[in-house]
Amino acid sequence: MKTLLIIDVQNDFMPSGSLPVPHGDQIVPLINSIQNNFDLVLATQDWHPKDHISFASNHNGKSNFEVIELHGQLQTLWPDHCVNGTLGADFHQDLNTENFEAIFRKGTDKTIDSYSAFYDNGHLKSTGLTGYLKEKGVTELFLCGLAADICVYFSIIDAFNEGFDCTFIEDASKALDNDGFEKLKKEMIHKGIKIVNSESLL
């Protein structure tokens, strides 16, 4: 079953949002154009409580994008974003959500961040996505969304490690740090993860 997983196409990651991904809004029409070419379409949402541990505002004296150590791991401190129930956590208004069979929310535990669609950053808690996909008989997974170098990347790596045949749709994704993402793309290619553009899926 050919499956599309759309990562975090939410208002707070758009150019006018609290944690903007450059040109993040440009991927919306591309994602809309390819959805009908898949048997199954799924999406994720960052869905944080307002007291989430990854927010710089919840650490006295700390600034946005400062890196600290939490639970033995490095943690980037982010601007408040995608707080559950807020407009910033909603999908972009032009994103076609009619084909979404399920939405998986992540980052709901205030004590740990969760970039991947599959696990929190400590791999302590599963979102249930792997089981859902395997019950559906999914073997081939195409991923796109925001941000390419963070939540999309970690989702792809986890999906690959869970045994799925993974393809990254590059032009339907945007990175927060393009230079850093070039290194991550090389890593993906080395692992055997395919990289395509949306026009090849039409």
pLDDT digits (tens, 9 = 90+) for 71-122: 888 999 999 999 999 999 999 999 999 999 999 999 999 999 999 999 999 9
The label of the residue with tokens 């909603």 reads 90
Q: Is 172 exposed, middle or buried (0-12, 13-18, 19+ CB in 10 A)?
A: buried
Q: Please answer whether residues 112 and 119 qualify as being in contact, where contact means their C-beta atoms are separated by less than 8 angstroms.
A: no
Q: What is the C-alpha to C-alpha distance for residues 3 and 25, in angstroms, rounded to an integer?
A: 22
- Which pLDDT score is estimated for 72? 87
The active-site residue out of 8, 12, 46, 113 is: 8
Q: What is the C-alpha to C-alpha distance for residues 191 and 188, in angstroms, rounded to an integer?
A: 5
The full set of domains in the chain, from first to last, is: 11-201 (3.40.50.850)
- Which pLDDT score is estimated for 71? 84
Which pair of tokens denotes residue 149?
């170098």
Taking CA 129 as the corner, what is the angle to CA 76 and CA 96, rounded to the nearest 5 degrees?
Answer: 85
Helix residue spans in 24-146 (DSSP H): 28-34, 129-136
- Which pLDDT score is estimated for 202? 82
Integer angstrom CA distances of residue 118 from 44, 138, 161, 177: 10, 15, 11, 22
166 is catalytic: no
106 is catalytic: yes
- Which pLDDT score is estimated for 58? 96
Local confidence pLDDT in tens for the 202 residues of the chain: 999 999 999 999 999 999 999 999 999 999 999 999 999 999 999 999 999 999 999 999 999 999 999 888 899 999 999 999 999 999 999 999 999 999 999 999 999 999 999 999 999 999 999 999 999 999 999 999 999 999 999 999 999 999 999 999 999 999 999 999 999 999 999 999 999 999 999 8
The active-site residue out of 25, 80, 82, 106 is: 106
The active-site residue out of 151, 158, 166, 174 is: 151
144 is catalytic: no
